[in-house]
Chains A and B, each alone.
Chain A
Amino acid sequence: MRPEEILHPRPEGLYCAPGDFYIDPVRPVDRALITHGHSDHARAGHGLVMATAETLAIMAARYGADFAGARECAAYGEARSIGDAQVRFVPAGHVLGSAQIVVEAGGKRIVVSGDYKRRRDPTCPAFEPIACDVFVTEATFALPVFRHPDDRAEIAKLLRSIAQQPERAHLVGAYALGKAQRIIALLREAGYGETIYLHGAMEGLCALYERCGVPLGPLAAATTTEKRDFAGAIVICPPAAMADRWSRRFPDPVACFASGWMRVKQRAKRSGVELPLVISDHADWDELTGTIKEIAPGEVWITHGRDDALARWAALNGLAARPLRLVGFDDEDD
């Protein structure tokens, strides 16, 4: 069986014919396998959703308990049959519950990585490389200018800034699922024991992380008390809230933004960020190319992001690669 007969893009999303299911579909389908809980991958309204327990819990928290007709929990490493296909969920190291989906049919193995990273993340199990015929990779940061620095050094930068400007609140823009909790966990690892304040959009997901066994230390809602209460404090909020009326309650806040995009100074400047923190939940250029080299698949398919640059790299390295041009993924989110 040719790989294209096992998996191919359709308007709804990436479709597996032997198993009659979709992976991360963007429109409602009968059977969906979901790699992780970010809203461009995990959407409400499918018939049956199969995902890790954590991803199912995240979807329920975001969309309500009735986000799908039925749900099926997939444990990491456990093989299951769906029609003529065998599937297996393997850690992707992206966010809590994130998985690569290994699809086997007709003697071929395809790994759909979803979004992934290779660095250690205290909030989720590490990416496991799986040998395969086709590796389906993301390409969010697939340009050689993206090399994420050590996240501990970025956290140290934040703590130094707080020490230097104790009269100001530090407002850290971070995506509500994954990035926010990782920042908190990294701060705790760096010895920061103070209460960390949360925007309302973060509270539910932080509680969920704790229920799933990721300790985050003392947290409190960033509700309006006296202005000076937040001097010297760290407040975590969605990036959009930094420029919103919500942010006015803080004393002369330092706008920080934790994202892989912050590697580009011009971009940080344009978005009005005063303290860029280059912390990403996606693989950088070296991780993407290193992972492909390590797995050494027969072929590489590229889902979303800078697919042209990664395809160029593959060509330079004698690897077969092609973009799938899937629509509906928001490659700006990190």
Chain B
Amino acid sequence: MRAFTDLLDRLILTRSRNAKLDALARYFAETPDPDRGAALAAIAGALTFNTAKPALLRKLAADRVDAELFALSYDYVGDLAETVALIWPERPGANRAPTLGEVYETLTYAGKLDAPRLIERWLDALDASERWALLKLVTGGLRIGAGARLAKQALAQWSNRPLTEIEEIWHGLAPPYRDLFAWLEGRADKPAARALAPFRPVMLAHALEEEDRPRLDARDFAAEWKWDGVRVQAVSDSGVRRLYTRNGEDVSAAFPDVIDHLSFEGALDGELLVRDGDALGSFNDLQQRLNRKRPDAKIIARFPAFVRAYDILADGGDDMRALPFAARRRRLEALIVDARSPRLDLSPLLSAADWEAFAALRASPAPPGVEGLMLKRWDSRYEIGRPRGLWWKWKRDPYRIDAVLMYAQRGHGKRSSLYSDFTFGVWRGDELTPVGKAYFGFTDNELAQLDKFVRDNETERFGPVRAVRAGADFGLVLEIAFEGLARSTRHKSGVAMRFPRIARIRWDKPAAEADRLETLEALLRAAKSRAGD
């Protein structure tokens, strides 16, 4: 348990992604089977011991500690597993400390009745931080700032295998992953992706830059809208249906309404979107669905989800990925027609054959839910990763407004000594009203200037938040770029920005000339009227 405990400690206390990856990679390299497999399962969320519920922990503690002292302690600590771990009265030399592998294997085969006695015995044998790790493990709620994605990346980093290969076989694997580790260490062949409805690693596009265009012949490319949803892979295979994110995370449970209507055999690549009444829902609406692992009927009815397909990876049992895009597109269109699914439609191809036409499409008021253009070579095979020159994304220019800096807060990690989270506002009548928060977009040098401005012009403190001087006669104007706007009841201003960042610091602009809330409201109305088209 010691090594696993130290690993969780590192993961929970470090904010640096690289440090987390290093800690995981080192752990996988140094820890034997089945311990490392059990740890991998715990971090990836693949463990479910139904034997250890919070009520059991409370009961175990109640047998050892006065209820009132426990309640006072729990109040202070705020986390049940940690309270039990810390408060557990030690019995030195009581038992031999178990290994992680033993805990994992014993609990896997233990009945509900045996679990309390087992956990109690282990708690007696471990020290305080190991008890914490044990309780986190058996209750399943690790919350350590690392998940399946990071664990897979660490496996790739440690073994020098492509991440996509690990993702491809992942859903056919089971804890404690002996076959996976054997392959990663070069002791065995790659485990087959033998599960039904497997994930297939996705193909990604490059951002189109100004200088790329002259080198590309527009006639080689098909154009589609770039949808502002979540990229998903919808797979239906002999009755097994799954919805994966582009990283291979299985999100089927969150979208039962979509799963019910995947009436085809094969694997499609597309965008997950939601409806709001007759219109397309905003990204904010989609987020309401994404945030719920198990949605209730009400939210499903409020924001029904669907997949807007744009590629096909498998048609029935046939792998489509080696076919050119043009051929895949014909198969996709046929499949969508046959499927007759209310939760599946086709992302249309746009008719444009030269750069001027592409540019006009991109600049024109696009339908709602569009964030730009996708350009795909007609002859492109479906290749894993981000191959050069085949697919391009050409995002619409962001919206821009001039806003006034109102509040600032310190960042985390390397930025913990800097004011790096900025809340900005626009004019409503004679007053500034906050409309968003941005914490990137600036250079290190600009950050230092912003930090200095905050320190020199602080007017009030609310906990960690600093109010800065901002009025018609004095204030710092920030040019904010953002991708979209939605109505929000959570924000005082009534609007929520998508992906706001600081594009420029306008040292030159008087605060009184910053934008007004009416500007944002006009943008919203424009989006709304297009939605009604």
Contact = CB atoms under 8 A, between A and B. Distances in A.
Interface stretch (A4-12, A76-84, A123-131, A140-148): A140-148
A274 interface: yes
Interface of B: 9, 12-15, 65-66, 68-70, 72-73, 76-79, 82-83, 86-87, 89, 128, 132, 410, 412-414, 416-417, 455
Given A266-B82, A312-B69, A316-B66, A145 B12 contact: no
Contact of B73 (A143, A244, A246, A276): A143
Chain A CB count within 10 A is highest, among B9, B14, B72, for: B72
Contacts of A143: 69, 72-73, 76
Contacts of A266: 77-79, 82
Given A243-B410, A243-B416, A245-B417, A145 B13 contact: no
A309 B86 contact: no
Given A244-B417, A265-B132, A266-B77, A306 B13 contact: no
A226 to B, nearest CB: 19
Contacts of B89: 144
Contacts of B72: 143, 306, 308-309, 312
A27 interface: no
A166 interface: no
Contacts, number: 75
Given A149-B128, A264-B86, 15 more contacts: A143-B73, A144-B73, A242-B416, A243-B410, A243-B417, A245-B417, A245-B455, A247-B416, A265-B9, A266-B77, A266-B79, A272-B413, A312-B69, A313-B66, A313-B69
13 contacts: A143-B73, A243-B417, A245-B455, A247-B416, A247-B417, A264-B76, A266-B78, A269-B13, A273-B13, A274-B14, A308-B72, A312-B68, A313-B66
In the A-B complex, list the 6 residue pairs whose CB atoms are closest, starting with the nearest: A145-B86, A145-B73, A309-B72, A143-B73, A144-B87, A145-B87
A309 B269 CA distance: 59
A248 interface: yes
A130 B503 CA distance: 68
Chain B CB count within 10 A is highest, among A143, A147, A247, for: A143
A275 B9 CA distance: 9
A147 B86 contact: yes
Contacts of B68: 312
Interface string A11-41: 0000000000000000000000000000000
Interface residues of A, number: 32
Contacts of B65: 144
Nearest to A272: B416
B61 to A, nearest CB: 10
Nearest to B14: A274
B449 to A, nearest CB: 14
A137 B176 CA distance: 52
B169 to A, nearest CB: 33
Contacts of B78: 266
Interface string A81-113: 000000000000000000000000000000000
Contacts of B73: 143-145, 309
Given A243-B410, A243-B416, A264-B86, A269 B69 contact: no
B162 to A, nearest CB: 29
A248 B89 CA distance: 42
Chain A CB count within 10 A is highest, among B82, B89, B410, B416, for: B416
B488 to A, nearest CB: 28
A268 interface: yes
Contacts of A275: 13
Contacts of A248: 417
A260 to B, nearest CB: 12
A322 interface: no
Contacts of A62: none
B77 A264 contact: yes
Contacts of A268: 13
Contacts of A245: 417, 455
A245 B455 CA distance: 10
B144 to A, nearest CB: 10
B13 A264 contact: no
A272 B69 contact: no
Contacts of A255: 416
B417 A147 contact: no
B66 A265 contact: no
Contact of B414 (A145, A252, A312): A252
Given A264-B82, A272-B412, A308-B72, A145 B77 contact: yes
A119 B83 CA distance: 24
A312 B83 contact: no
Contacts of A269: 12-13
A263 interface: yes
B86 A274 contact: no
B491 to A, nearest CB: 26
A18 to B, nearest CB: 36
Contacts of A313: 66, 69
B450 to A, nearest CB: 13
Nearest to A268: B13
A148 B345 CA distance: 61
Chain A CB count within 10 A is highest, among B12, B13, B128, for: B13
